Structures are given as C-alpha cells and as structure tokens.
Chains A and B, each alone.
Chain A
Amino acid sequence: MYNFFGDNDFMKKMYEQWEKMMGDHFEKLVHDENFVSEMAKAMAATMSGKFMSTKMMDETFMAMNLPTRGEMVKALQKLVDVEERLIDLGEKFEDFAKETTDALTAIEQKLGVPAEQLPKSKSKSKKA
C-alpha cells in the first residue's frame, strides 16, 4: 500500500479495509448483468444522439450545397477501395511476372540456351 499514512497503523488498516470494500463492491458491480445492460442502454442512447446530431448537421450542410461529413467519409472509403484494388492488381502482376520468369528460366535450363537468344514467336495480328 502507498505509504501516505506514515506509521499510523489505524489509518493504514482503515485504508486497506476501504480499498477491499470498494474493490469487492466495484467488482460485483461491473460483473452484474443488470448494471452492464443499463450501461449499454446509456451507450445506445448516446450513439443515437450522435446519429441524430450528425444527420442534422449533414442536412444543414446539404441545404447550403456544401459537402457533408458523411459524403467526405464515403469519398475516402471509395479511395480506400480503389487503393485496395490497385494493390490487388499490383500483386497479381508481380505473381504473373514471377511465373513468366520462372517459366523462361525453366526453358533456358531445358534447352541450354539463354531466353534472350530464343527465336521470337511471330505475332498473329498484323499491324496496319
């Protein structure tokens, strides 16, 4: 225990008793289903309040022809989606490049000829 009371045994004991009592009480409280469900209701009410105020703000901004917070967040999320797609495509491209290199190396090893020296295949489509 923190030595706030110096050598005063009575105060020390009283503090320890208080700490134990409060500890037990709070422990019971935070594990009590009714208390937790009431806390959840309070939280739900706060969140509903936040939802309403955000909605009001958005409506006010929309009436003034200004971008709302919701619209900006949606735009950000779209950007994240585009970024995700680009990363996926980049990875696919890298995989494809690796497969191609591996295939070329395999051909090289099989024929004993460096890939650059292999005859180039004729393109089927003729350029105009």
Chain B
Amino acid sequence: MLKDIDMAINNFIENQAGEYNDMPRGVTEREMVYRAGNMKIFKFKREGGDVSNLPPMLFVPSLINRWYILDLTEETSFVNYFNKFFTCYMIDWGYPGSESAHLPFSNFYHKYLNRAVNYICRETGAEKINMLGYCIGGTLSYIYSCLEPERVNKVILLASPINFENAGISSLYAKTFPTEEFVNSMDYMPGPTISNFFNNIQPLGLLKKTQMFHQKYKDPKFKKMYVAMERWISDDGVHFPARAYYEFLSQLYKENRLFKSRLATTDETAVDPSKRQAECLILNATLDHIVPLHCTNLPPADGAKREVLTFNTGHVGITVGKYGVDAKTKAVEFLKK
C-alpha cells in the first residue's frame, strides 16, 4: 500500500517535471580528465581551445552538495560564463561512502586540492591557478591558498564560511552535536540528514516552496528552475565522511581554529593565513542564514589584498538568483584585473 502511494507520488512529480526531469546535471559540455578515488576533475569544453594568457580556473564545490549548482541551467551557470574567458575545471567530490570514513578533513583541503592543482598546472603549463569556492568549497580553497601560497593566483569565496564564531544556527547545532557517539557509530553523515537540517533551519520553507510551485508552475521558466533546483537539493544528497565531518565540526565550528590561525593538517603542517599571497574576492549575501555576513570575514592575521561585495540575497540565491548574474560578472572582472 505504502509502496503504491510512494510510486503514485513519484509518478505525479515526474509528470509535473515533464521534459525537465531529464535535464542534464550540469549543462556546460565537459569531459572527465582526471580521477583519483572518489574525486574527479571535469574540464569544460570551449570554442577556440584553451586560454593561454590567463591562469586556468578551478571551481571547488561544497562537500555537502553536488558540484552542478554552479552549472545548473544555461541562464544561471557560473561555469558557462567563466568558460568564455578562462580554461575552466571543476572538482567533483563524488559520492563518498563507508570506504572514506577514515579520511581526515585535511585530505580534502590539502591533498586532493593539491592533486587537482598539480594536474591542471601540468596540463596547461601554468604555474598558478585561480580558484572559486562555493560554501565549504570556499573554505577549502581558502585553506589551500594558505598552505600553498605560490600556487594560487586569485581566490574567490562565494558565500564561504571562514570565521565560525557565532555562525548562526549552524553553530548552535554544531555545539550540541553528539560528536563522540557519531564517530563510534557512523561511517558518514548521511546526505538526507544534512538536507533535513537545512530544511529545519526554515521550518515553513518547504510549505512556502510548495505554495510557490502551485502558483507559478505554468510558467516554463519557473518550472525549469524549480525542477533543476529540486533535483540538486533533494534528489542528489552527498554523504560527509565521518572523520572529516568530526574534524570539520570540532576544529572549525567548535574551536574556530582557521580564524584563530591554529588549524593544522594531519601531518602537522600549520595553516597560516599570514602566509597567504593570493588576492581575494569575498562575495557574500545579507540574507544568508547558513553563512551570516560576519562569517565571511578573513582572519586578522591575513594581510593579503581583498575585496568584499555584498548582495541582497540568500545563500543559494547568490549562485542561481538574479544577483548571481552580478556576482559572476564582478568575479570575472576581478580575475581579469
């Protein structure tokens, strides 16, 4: 009986989504050029071949969602726009499972990013690259630019938390999260649980979203965007490996080590923001309830040049909303300066 209801709901959703249900996940043409474990690197195809006079661009997505939020539709795609000016690469963190439970957080922000940068530099002949990180991807890019200052030309932090002090409701959840029990019993933080947490932050958000869908679903533009977003946010969750999640919560959210210049990799290499050289563009959003404005501040020890641009939108709106166009235009201007 329950199975039948579930099937009926799924059929209804698929019928409503119509042609958009088969939309590609990531719209810009690409090829997988590198694979190591779960991590993949995509290179985006562009007319006229590689750009040789500007450093290549590496997109670093969040660890808790899939990469294609930055390439969701033709109209909103960051990748599509950046690809006109730079040779673009994207990291896909894949779908980590129990086999990745023991990997430390530093593997993601140092070892794997280093592999990606090594590969790109080897392929393009460039000595430095530009990076754009979204959400936790920005945190990873920032830490990488502290650890390997000579390899990063410019870095863009798109709604990325760096200062975890009073990071809103996420801090409160992190403070009370049963980390010890979690490490003893789980191989990863399940993707759907993470997704539910974000739903809980705005308890009536789901209801409002459904209302909006019923009001506007006849507009094909809206429907396309809605289906694309839902497929990304609800239908494609990613697990967060246990040890990395534990370290992320305890070292960043609870102890705020990055901002206090006390973070270190597993092999005891210090993450020192004062060593950073790459010029930085911070793109943040006033209505961001996941990464409040003050959380995008760089550590006091960081003396590198920076620019801050604030948009009157939310955490996801800054990538796919109407302000996303401004954000990507400014980002490209910053990189071309």
Residues of B within 8 A of A94 (CB): 122
Give the total number of A-B pairs whose CB atoms are below 8 A apart.
83
Residues of B within 8 A of A33 (CB): 172, 176
Q: Decide if A2 is an interface residue (CB 8 Å cutoff).
A: yes
Would you call B169 and A30 a contact (CB within 8 A)? yes
Q: Decide if B234 is an interface residue (CB 8 Å cutoff).
A: no
Q: Decide if B300 is an interface residue (CB 8 Å cutoff).
A: no
Residues of B within 8 A of A80 (CB): 37, 99-100, 102-103
Complex interface residues of chain A between 78 and 95 (CB less than 8 A to chain B): 79-80, 83-84, 87, 91, 94-95
State the CA gap A23–B201 with chains docked (Å): 11
Q: Mark B146-188, 1 if CB is under 8 A from A, else 0.
A: 0000000000000000000000010011001110011011110
Residues of B within 8 A of A27 (CB): 202-203
Q: Decide if A3 is an interface residue (CB 8 Å cutoff).
A: yes
Q: Mark B186-223, 1 if CB is under 8 A from A, else 0.
A: 11000000000000111110010011001100000000
Candidates B36, B100, B184; contact of A51 at CB < 8 Å: B184
Nearest A residue to B176, CB-CB: A40
State the CA gap A106–B118 with chains docked (Å): 22
Would you call A48 and B185 a contact (CB within 8 A)? yes
How many B residues have CB within 8 A of the partner chain? 33
Given A30-B201, A76-B99, A47 and B184 contact (CB-CB distance below 8 Å): yes
What distance in Å separates the Cβ of B138 from its nearest Cβ neighbour in chain A? Answer: 25
Q: Is the interface of A mostly helix, strand, loop or mixed?
A: helix
State the CA gap A95–B118 with chains docked (Å): 9
Task: With a 10 A CB-CB cut-off, give which of B118, B177, B203 has the most chain A CB atoms.
Answer: B203
Residues of A within 8 A of B99 (CB): 73, 76-77, 79-80
Would you call B200 and A47 a contact (CB within 8 A)? no
Given A30-B201, A87-B36, A47 and B169 contact (CB-CB distance below 8 Å): no
**Can you give 6 contacting A-B residue pairs, CB < 8 Å?**
A23-B204, A30-B200, A33-B172, A39-B176, A48-B181, A77-B101
The 8 closest A-B pairs by CB, nearest first: A26-B203, A44-B178, A51-B185, A40-B176, A76-B99, A47-B181, A2-B211, A47-B185
Q: Which residues of A pack against B, CB within 8 Å?
A: 1-3, 19, 22-23, 26-27, 29-31, 33, 36-37, 39-41, 43-44, 47-48, 50-51, 54, 73, 76-77, 79-80, 83-84, 87, 91, 94-95, 98
